[in-house]
Structure 1
Amino acid sequence: MNKPVMTEEQLLAQPAEAYMSEEQQAFFRDLLTRERESLRERIDEEFQALRNNDNIPGDAADVGSAEEHRQWQLRMLEREKKLLDKIDESLDRLANGDYGYCEETGEPIGLRRLLLRPTATLSIEAKERQEQIERHVGET
């Protein structure tokens, strides 16, 4: 029988030396898997809704409004698909032992950041540097 996954409070109460221990990895694996399942269900529901609304008869305003809603749904599906890919990448990093460590510096990303954004690949400092560079490049 599988050992129950710890709670968020238990995770945060662990000492720094326990960072990305088997227990912590199990916590994030469970969190990412649940997020993945929930996201898959939403994507399937949205996709089905798009299919069901393909040929809505009506006047030009109704058709235009329906098309605008359809475009919004497609953009949302695209964003959710990108998130699904990030979740899969995070699960791969967990399997490889790279999860929880900054891709740029190799330093721990931190439990609080991972709880807020389980798909994070950069520490806060590295992310801020990346955003500063993007702003600087955008200004030129």
Structure 2
Amino acid sequence: MPETKKEFALSSFTPYELKAGEEYMNDAQLEHFTSILQNWKQELMEEVDRTKEHMQTEVNNYADPNDRASQEEEFNLELRTRDRERKLIKKIEKTIDLIDSGDYGFCKACGVEIGIRRLEARPTADLCIDCKTLAEIKEKQLGV
């Protein structure tokens, strides 16, 4: 079964056209990101359905233990992938809640604008690039 495109949000939308003097996170921008997030979530949910269907229809009771082990490993890999996607769906829902509350697009650590292009690259980003870089440095130093 083909893997889910992790870059869905990167490849399936038209980049936002910034207008001169436009206010950051105005209604049009919020609508743009809501659409990206909802489409991304929808695709992930469809992949969950495809996996469920695949696992139900592809169940074979192989006589050969090696064939059985291969099938179980394939199913385990699919389930691990779906678990990561389940976590991503929760993060997408949390991000949509930030849009609804008016807090989307601003760094949760320092409060500055995250930026349209960074959000298009990573719609669930909640840190500006500087705070994210610092967090990664701290993570490396602490070995977390």
TM-score range, shorter chain: 0.7 to 0.9
Structure 1 segments unaligned to the other structure (5+ residues): 1-5
- Do structure 1's residue 67 and structure 2's residue 76 form an aligned pair? no
- Do structure 1's residue 78 and structure 2's residue 83 form an aligned pair? yes
Matched-pair identity in % = 35
Aligned to 1:124: 129
Is the deviation greater in 56-65 or in 24-33?
A: 56-65
- Do structure 1's residue 90 and structure 2's residue 82 form an aligned pair? no
In 1, Cα distance between equivalents of 2:130 and 2:31: 26
Aligned to 1:43: 48
Q: Is the 8 A contact 1:102 1:108 kept in 2?
A: yes
Aligned to 1:3: none
Residue 56 and residue 19 in structure 1: after superposition, are their counterparts in 2 closer, same or farther (change >3 A)?
Answer: farther
Q: Cα deviation per residue 1:96-139 (whole Å; 9 max; x = unaligned)?
A: 00111111111111111100110111111111111111100018
- The root-mean-square deviation of aligned C-alpha atoms, in Å, is 1.9
- Do structure 1's residue 109 and structure 2's residue 119 form an aligned pair? no
Runs of 4+ more than 6 Å apart? none
CA shift at 1:55, angstroms? 4.5
Higher RCO, 1 or 2 (CA under 8 Å, sep at least 6)? 2
- Do structure 1's residue 8 and structure 2's residue 7 form an aligned pair? no
Give the partner amino acid of 1:14.
K
TM-score w.r.t. length of structure 1: 0.86
In 1, Cα distance between equivalents of 2:60 and 2:14: 47
Structure 2 segments unaligned to the other structure (5+ residues): 1-12
Give the partner amino acid of 2:15.
E
Is the deviation greater in 130-139 or in 34-43?
A: 130-139
Instruction: Report the structure, 1 or 2, having the larger helix content.
Output: 1
Q: Is the 8 A contact 2:16 2:32 kept in 1?
A: no
Give the partner amino acid of 2:49.
D
CA shift at 1:15, angstroms? 3.6
